[in-house]
Amino acid sequence: MPAQGWDDYIAQLRHRKTEARSQGGPEAIARAHRRGKLTARERLTLLLDEDSFHEIGLLAEGSVDTPGKPAQHLPADGVVTGWGTIHGRHVCVVADDGTLVGGAASLKNIAKRFRLRRLALEQGYPFIGLYEGSAIRFQDSMQARQMTQVPAFREVTDCVGRIPQVAAMLGACFGRPPIDGLYADFTLMVKGSGFVGWSGPTLVRGGLGEEVDIDRLAGPDMHARTTGFVDRVSSNEQECIAAIRTFLTFLPQNCWELPPREPSTDDPNRLCPELLDIVPTRLRKPYDVARVIAALVDHGQTFAYKPDFGQSVMTCLARLDGRVVGIVASQPDYQAGALDWASAAKVRRFIAVCDSFHIPLVFLQDQPGFLIGQQAETSNMLYWGGTLIDAVERASTPKITLILRKAHGAAMWAMGGRGSPYSPDLQIAWPLAIVTGTGPTSAVYTVHSRELQEARDPDQLQAELEAKYSRQGSVYEAAAAFGVDDIIEPPETRRYLIRALAFLCGKQARQLGPKVRLFP
């Protein structure tokens, strides 16, 4: 028999690779499309720069045996792994193949993922997971020999704070993918098709006899608004993938680099007189802080982080003169800006991401304190508030705090207020700001309740006492004690922040490398 020539070997290789890229076949792909979903390979085409994907493990094979059915062949063992570029920068990517056994994993499947994570960590590139699957396939997980060989999550936790991690929940994700989402710096879900939790409705029904709808159990609204597990909910997969590409433009490749600075055409000396119209001088009158942020940052462009969770504080990424900043801003339009457990948890996580990747923090503070009352106490407000203060204090990235109108109580420190001579790096204020242990109205009610009851004109006495406490809490008193570094006119805020960030970049550059992680 004559020896094969190179043409034969190459033809066989191409045939095997074509088969390996077939995923679940035309019918399975069509079913996914009918449900408004993309396939793993279509997702990677959208995510990565054109013709930049290099796959590893393409020819890894898997199979599953289902009673009463022939063994099912699983091309690439149900997961696509490799590297590519986004905006010209390298990333490592994993994409579950939902057209094959619902994207469920196996030992080999997990080995492909973890090998890629190790490569990402060693090379210092972001790791992106496009998830649509579960933990170990039942055919494997019901065998002790298999389960005891499943690796834990060391490869996941080793990446924390060293390389940016992104987790997109694009299908039913139970068991394994939630851990990837928990430790990711940015976790997304797609409305209508993304679900995440320890167990799905079928397993809950079989284990507990509990009937529960998948949306209420593991849907995007629940995780975006109630648990805060998800940082962004997208209306479709295209929007989700676009958000991933945008998010990564704000982050360095790894913790040994600074965030990328982009050229800016927005004048760094631009004044913001519109702030005088946006922010009322009546301290208790609400306004939308999003308008303040838009006035300050380059071209008014921001990237929201957990916009549907803990809404009394806004967290977003933006740029000031091309420099990336993380903004933490009280939202007086929602429960007057009072911090509850959700907003504290949200800010804590955001600060951890910014600190890990050397993104300076800008706090815009206008809050009446922590939320109080029975509901606040039963939601463990003490824990969340206390750990937030600790995270703010321990974050070593540059910090600038601006007190717009009011800073009350311990929430002042939770929102970046001066807790020591070294934190924040700079604290400034607008001229109408007050800094007190509580709002003047609450102080008068607590301290002078008997006087008010006995007064001939309680309304007049209350107004006089409130005015007294407001004078005592004036930011000019804080400046006299050197509690703030400067008091500035509101229109000068953008210019001041830009110059302050340029000054503080010296500290930023000396902190490259991994830090002690502030989350979880």
pLDDT at 113 over 70: yes
Q: Do domains 6-248 and 275-433+474-509 have the same CATH topology?
A: yes
Distance of CA 325 to the CA centre of its chain: 14
CATH topology of domain 275-433+474-509: 2-enoyl-CoA Hydratase; Chain A, domain 1 (3.90.226)
The reported pLDDT for the residue numbered 72 is: 73
The continuous run of DSSP H or E covering 367 comes out as strand 361-367
Quick: pLDDT tens for 451-461. 666 667 666 66
- Residue 131 forms beta bridges with which residues? 169
> How would residue 372 be classed by pLDDT, with cut points 50, 70 and 90?
confident
For helices 381-394 and 341-356, give the axis angle rounded to 10 degrees: 20
Average pLDDT score over the chain: 86
Q: Lowest-pLDDT range, 124-128, 219-223, 249-253?
A: 219-223
Quick: pLDDT tens for 466-491. 666 667 678 898 888 888 999 999 99
Percentage of the chain beyond pLDDT 90 is: 53
> How would residue 64 be classed by pLDDT, with cut points 50, 70 and 90?
confident
Residue type, 142: M
pLDDT at 366 over 80: yes
Q: When comparing pLDDT for 383 and 197, which is higher?
A: 383
Q: Choose among 498, 347, 314, 497: nearest CA to 413.
A: 347
Q: When comparing pLDDT for 24 and 37, which is higher?
A: 37
The reported pLDDT for the residue numbered 149 is: 53
Quick: pLDDT tens for 151-163. 557 778 888 999 9
The reported pLDDT for the residue numbered 202 is: 64
> How would residue 69 be classed by pLDDT, with cut points 50, 70 and 90?
low
Peptide bond into 520 cis (omega under 30): yes
Mean pLDDT of 283-295: 96
The domain defined by 6-248 carries CATH number 3.40.640.10: no
The reported pLDDT for the residue numbered 520 is: 53
What sign results for the dihedral spanned by CA atoms 376, 519, 319, 229? negative
Quick: pLDDT tens for 233-247. 999 999 999 999 999
The 10 Å CB-count burial string (b at 16+, else e) for 7-41 is eeeeeeeeeeeeebebbbeeebbeebeeeebbbbb
Query: Strands, E, within 30-157: which ranges?
Result: 54-56, 61-64, 72-75, 79-86, 89-96, 127-131
The reported pLDDT for the residue numbered 310 is: 94
Residue ranges covered by each domain of the chain: 6-248, 275-433+474-509, 437-473
pLDDT at 134 over 80: no
Length of the chain, in residues: 520
